[in-house]
Amino acid sequence: MTHSTPLLLGVHAHQPVGNFPQVIDDAVLRCYHPFLEAMHRFPEFPFAIHISGWLLQYMVQHHPKTIKLLQEMVTRQQAELVGAGDTEPVLAAIPHADRITQLEAMADRLDKNFGQRPVGAWLTERVWDPSVVPALQEAGIQYVMVDDYHFLCAGASTDQLGSFHRTEENGQAIDVFPISEALRYRLPFSEAAAAVTYIEEISAHNPGSAGIYFDDIEKFGVWPETYSWVYEKGWLEQFLRGVLNSPHIQPMHFKDYLHQHRPQGMIYLPTVSYSEMNEWTLAPDAARNYAAFLEQEKAAGRLDLRKPLIRGGIWKNFLTRYPESNWMQKRMLQLSQRFHALPKRQQSKQMRADLHETQANDAYWHGLFGGIYLPHLRRAVYQAMVRLEAQLDKIQERPGLQFIDVDMDGHEELYYHNDHQQLIIRPTPSGAVAEWDCYKLHHNLGDTLARRDEAYYDKIRHGAVDHATPSEGIASAHDRISFKTEITAEDLLADTAPCHSFQEWLDNVAVTYPENSIVQDTPHFTGGVADSWAVSKAYSLTHKGLMVHFRIESPASQQNVESHHFQTRLFLAMPSCDGPAGQFFADEQSQGGFGLPIQGKKTRQIVLEDAVMGGKITLHCNPPARWEAAPHMTVSQSEAGFEKIMQALQLDFYWDLTAGKTQHIEILTEIIADD
């Protein structure tokens, strides 16, 4: 061999905004620190690294030894720092102005902690959309990395995947590196010597090509089996020594390679992410067909040739797959618009930081990764939203009642707020509360997730087994099937209605409210059940909480029916979920936590205490109500396996009705923050 393969190796470290400290500490212990420690022992091995802003801030505060290692490697010019949006947003899903401020906030953070501003940027989940090019260029970014799959989808040939190309949008240009899928699946899962040999041969097969790798650092210690494989069994050190001892590999920085070479040519990439993400974004039946088609093409030996033509969906399909994701994203867009409409002098750093946190990507999507199923990640987004909205209201007061189409579905929702709380109500058909914000607690009580079909449920139903472990190396998380909790067929049933609070039934028939009005500055909804029962519902915000009043009137034709009952259902996002920090009381008698189904006889008062939320909710029923409570659970997957996760507390109240009589029911909810 007389060739030399440039090796551009980079890693991406990320933890979602709102993740548990113990999870981050474990990742530092098992991955981030040992990886940097190993790289530190080989100063002649240059590499690139991106650490998302929120994670970097946490590590600076809680893991200074790890940060010091990286600072030393930056100072000696071994480590090249790569930027991104500060809170790891999908740039394509946020406004142009926020793309720039996110990129600049990350660059400022790197400059402050390491004295280096980035010239390259990591695209969250490698989601490419040409609309992001102007913001990247305006923020001083010269290059980004995407998958070689992006290039293939643009019609590029395999011999064009060994170097960067240039692209532009409206005359603003940026360089784009294709990350090698073959390397992504080899590092660190194949034997170290085999990985080195593969890199050596890249230029032999395609002279002048580089080995281009940039992927999650969590593969080097956090993923199943990887800590033992990478560190205890010595994979990383073997790989680093193998590369440095090879006369046919030249490790180098992305920025140095960029300055030493010219772009191979122009390229225009389609809106796309990595191939697995394109499958995850599809609706369940479409995803099943997509997976079956991939298997068919693989069996026929045509997949490598045709894969770029089988693209699946785009990342924004998550906004249609999960209405809860669309709701959050549209609320974020509204708040961004309000923030940027303020004069610059009124745009505080805290408000901008909160806006950036509302844009953290993880709570908006789901695949093998992604966290819309994780309540604590959605909660972090909503906490930032509630904080930001409260600050905006102090500067620019809003009307107490407004009709706005929040989710852009063509139907207006009703905003109803005071200084303490906000309700966002869907008038039709249920007059139910979709969002319930408590300003003092910075919490959305309406934050939950409906159960819905997922394509990966087929693996649970059919009892699929793990793919065989490779004869050399270890299996990737993409090929594993395991269970963190027991899951039954009933757990996989989809909800038939959104999980909103104050949905009613009369004799098990849904109550609908075709009419709404504003009476004495409070929202009223009028309807009933078919042509029989008439029901009205009125919401009234108080200093401490919410009063909901029902008026129920039956026709004379129902007088001979012996029994009737009226039911309303609440979904309350209790941050402690099924953990020990939640306590349920009925008429001052403890019922345990929120994680088990319970029911009670006629009760006047229910109290929900939640230490994680930092407060309690008291519900007064007049007249007293029978009740049932149960955890609302969903089933999701992660790299660690399938599991059930509690999303909210489902609380049902029942009252007996007397036909031929007009009856009034009230629920007074008080929300009290701990001192």
For tokens 């620190």, the residue is 33
Give ∠ CA 171-176-177 in degrees, rounded to 5: 170
Phi/psi region, residue 221 (left: phi>0; alpha: psi -120 to 50; beta: rest), is left
Question: What 3-state class would DSSP assign to 670?
Answer: strand
44 alpha-carbon distance from chain centroid? 38
Angle, helices 235-245/192-200, rounded to nearest 10 degrees: 30
Dist. CA 151–CA 168, nearest whole Å? 15
Dist. CA 23–CA 640, nearest whole Å? 13
Cα Rg of the chain, angstroms: 28
Dist. CA 210–CA 120, nearest whole Å? 17
Dist. CA 511–CA 527, nearest whole Å? 7
Q: Six-digit token pair at 20?
A: 């548990």
Strands (DSSP E) contained in 367-458 are: 401-404, 413-417, 421-426, 432-438, 443-444
Asked, as a colleague might, if the bond just before 178 is cis with ω within 30 of 0, I would say no
CA dihedral in degrees (364, 365, 370, 374; nearest 10)? Answer: 60
Dist. CA 265–CA 156, nearest whole Å? 11
Backbone φ, ψ for residue 371 (5° rounding) = -130, 25
Which residue out of 25, 108, 201, 216 is catalytically annotated? Answer: 216
Q: Is 129 a catalytic residue?
A: no
Give ∠ CA 375-381-386 in degrees, rounded to 5: 115
Which residue out of 80, 86, 125, 279 is catalytically annotated? Answer: 125
4: DSSP letter: -
Tell me the torsion sign for CA atoms 177, 181, 182, 185.
Answer: positive
Dist. CA 597–CA 630, nearest whole Å? 4
CA dihedral in degrees (214, 474, 56, 44; nearest 10)? Answer: -60
Tell me the torsion sign for CA atoms 138, 144, 146, 148.
Answer: positive
Q: Is 216 a catalytic residue?
A: yes
Q: How far is CA 586 from each of CA 147, 240, 331, rounded to the nearest angstrom?
A: 56, 62, 35
Q: How far is CA 560 from each of CA 256, 507, 555, rounded to the nearest angstrom?
A: 87, 15, 11
Are 213 and 202 within 8 A, CB to CB? Answer: no
Q: Which helix (H) or strand (E) holds 28?
A: none
Active site residues: 125, 216
